[in-house]
Structure formats: structure tokens, C-alpha cells
Amino acid sequence: MTSSDQPSRPHKTATRLSHSGRDSFGHHGAVNVPVYRASTILFPDQETFEDLTSRPFDTVQYGRTLTPSSDALESAVAELENGYRSISVSSGAAACSTALLAHLKAGDHLLMVDSAYGPTRRMCDTILSTYGVETTYYDPLVGAGIADLVRPNTTVIYLESPGSLTFEVQDVPAIVAVAKARGITTIMDNTWASPLFYKPLDHGVDVSVQAGTKYIVGHADVLIGLITLPDQASFRRVKRVSGTLGQQAGPDDVYLALRGLRTIGVRLPQHQRSALTVAEWLEARPEVERVLYPPLPSDPGHAIWVRDFAGASGLMGVVLAEGASEAGIRRMMNGFELFGIGASWGGFESLVLWTQPEKGRTATTWPAPGRTLRFHVGLEDPGDLIADLEAAFHRLGAAG
């Protein structure tokens, strides 16, 4: 091995996931970049201080700016996303709101996808509106029709594809084409696919955000957000805002996120395989009206998913057949052996959530009349998961 762990020529993704962000011989041979618990960084003399602090975002100079630990994660994520640099912040929600704040000012108009993650909507309806930014929500399936919603003061179009409750797949290239022709910035929440299966910047999106909390961390034990930018100017713009907001993921979280990233290349394909098995089984059940999972050929977003994505994660929705009673769903929810009731996803464990997608919308009406559940298919044996689901459907149908 050479003195640096960085490969001398382009390698395949699996290889890069094992090597990116490392510098073993810069760290006494340690395979992983150690946790640098540093707020204060010392400088040997005044000249070095002046030199390094004149390059505010590119050098190790203060814990909130850059440490070897955050640099390792951020450069590995940027490499996976084909970006210039990534910025790690304290949560996925912080990544979404920081990216918005960095690109909006009073008087601007924002186009926000109607299927967006709840706290992202809340950001628009509270903080952004207080500070004079007007939001129009748009149909996730609008495609090139987004052009009709653009105003002279529209500066940002925000996408999330697929949405994490309703799983509509957006026509990103069509929306990006409209944005580019008008000089509008596009920001995309890419948490569902992760950069392993979708690279927003390759599709012309200007800012990629994600909750690293989910598949990058992969073990349900860290909150972290990542913002990836395509060039130095856009990186500096967002880093200036994240720093001003005081945003920086802590060193232990950064370390765990990078450890998670090392295995995302084997975990996510397994989530996908198991999720597809479970989704196909669910689709054949009489208690199920619709499975919301783009890899299924029956899903309305399937064609775009095939065109644009390299794979799928383990998160899906299930619309129950009309007539499922509240009592039946409560029996179902409360008796799972393997699916935990939890609002997150992306870890090794399976989860279930009773969702209400009809409540969080304003531009569109959620068309499915049945009650909706969201399942995260973890890394357990899919046969065991199906047995757990089968028992749950028996409880749903049992007389209360």
C-alpha cells in the first residue's frame, strides 16, 4: 500500500467505499481516521494562523470549520456523490433547512414538492414565511409542467424523490431543464435512494441533501445530515451559512457515519432484495389495495425509477383495502414481533409506521381512500418478516 490510501486511478464504487476519505499513514497507520474531539486547534505561530484562517473553509482551523474526522466523511460522501465537497450538519432536517436558507432571501419565491418530508414543509410554513419567502407547493408528478408555476422571483425548486410517505417518483430531468433555463437553483432530498442508487448532481441538480441518519449511518444510532455541492463557489456559499448557523456534526457522529458508509454497498442491495420480496408478497394480499414501491412494475413511478435510479432502498408504503378498521390496525400494530413502531428508517432493523399522507398536502389530494402504513424492510430474513406480516393481517381481520 502506498503512503496514502487514496487510489491512483478511478475505481469502482465498492472499492471507493472502502478507501475514500482515508489517510492511514497520516494517522500512525490506523485504518480509520480517528475521532478528533477538537474545538480548539492550535497554530505554531502567528504567520501560520494568518495563512490558514485566510482560507476559511478548506483548512483545519476550528472544530466547527473542519477537522480531520469531518474532512474524512465529507470527502468520502462528496466522492460518492460526484460532488466537489460535502458539508456535515447535525441532522437530516438541518441539511434540508440549511440548504434552503443558503439559497433564499426575503422576496424570493420557492417551489416546494407537495410530498416533502414534514419538517421541511414546516420550515417553509414557519421560518421561511416569517422571513419573507413565499412557498408554492407543487404536485410531485408535475414534470415539465413546473414551468407554469415559475414566477419572476422564483429562485429555488425543491425536490424529494420518491417522497418518503407516498413514494411518487419525480421527473427530475424535466424539472431540472426548466430550472436551468431560468437560472433557478434545484435542491433535492435524496435520502430514500442514498447516493449509492441515485446521484442528484449527475442529473443536473444543484444541491444534494440527505439524512445520513438513515442508510449512510445504517445502524439507527446517529443523527447526521449531509449537503453536497458541485463546485467551490456553491460549497462556500452553503458552508458560510451552515457555519453562521453554528452547524457542525459532532466528531463521534461523523466517525460513525463514515463507518456506516463503508458497508452501504452491501447493506443497501440486501435491503432492496428483501424489500422487493416483501413488496411482492404484500401486493398479492387481499388486505392490500396498493403497495407504494417504485421497483414494482405496478407502481406508477416504475418507468422513471428504471430510467433514473440504480436501485431501491427498503422503504415502502402500503395502502390497506378500504374497510380496514381502526381497531384492526391497532391490533395489527401492537402485535408485531419483528417490525418495531418507529418514525425513522434506514437502519438494519425493520420498522412500521401508521401514516396519514392525506393530511400533509395542500397542492394535491392524496387519492388513496384506504389507510396507509409505511414499512422499512431491514436486514432480517425476509421469510421471517413475511411471517410477522401474515400474523398481522390475521389480527387485522380478527373480530375485535
Ligand X SMILES: Cc1ncc(COP(=O)(O)O)c(C=O)c1O
Q: Which residues are catalytic?
A: 64, 117, 189, 214
Element (H, E) at 232: helix 232-244
**CB closer to ligand X out of 113 and 304:** 113
Per DSSP, the residues of 125-184 read IIIIHHTT-EEEEE-TT-GGGGGGG--TTEEEEEEESS-TTT-PPP-HHHHHHHHHHHT-
Cell of 163: 417522497
C-alpha 235/C-alpha 374 separation (Å) is: 35
Three cell numbers written together for 289:
389495495
Residues 6+ apart with CB under 8 A from 306: none
Sites of contact with ligand X (CB under 6 A): 91-93, 96, 117, 160, 164, 189, 191, 211, 213, 223, 225, 344
From residue 178, alpha-carbon distances to 146, 198, 200, 255 in Å are: 7, 20, 16, 39
SS3 255: helix
Return the closest-CA partner of residue 269 out of 312, 299, 306, 305.
312
Q: Name the residue nearer to ligand X (CB basis): 239 or 376.
A: 376
- In the bound state with ligand X, the residue whose beta carbon lies nearer, of 89 and 396, is 89
Q: Which is nearer to ligand X, 75 or 161 (CB)?
A: 161
Nearest Cα residue to 351 out of 269, 285, 275? 275
> CA 155, CA 174: separation in Å to the nearest integer?
17
Nearer to ligand X, 225 or 360 (CB): 225
Q: How far is the CB of 381 from ligand X (least distance, A)?
A: 25
Nearest distance, CB of residue 93 and ligand X, angstroms: 3
* Smallest separation, CB 206 to ligand X (Å): 18
Taking the complex as a whole, the smallest distance from the CB of residue 325 to ligand X amounts, in Å, to: 28
Q: Considering the complex, what minimum distance in angstroms separates the CB of residue 208 from ligand X?
A: 12
Pick between residue 86 and residue 191 the one whose CB is nearest to ligand X.
191
Residues 194-213 as b or e (16 or more Cβ within 10 Å = b): bbbbbbbbebebbbbbbbbb
Which residue bears the cell 457522529?
Answer: 253
The length of the chain, given as a count of residues? 400
What is the longest distance spanned by two Cα atoms in the chain? 78
**109: nearest Cα among 50, 150, 80:** 150
CB of 372 to ligand X, least distance (A): 15
Q: How far is the CB of 202 from ligand X (least distance, A)?
A: 20
For residue 228, how far is the Cα from the chain centroid?
Answer: 11
Q: Which is nearer to ligand X, 229 or 396 (CB)?
A: 229
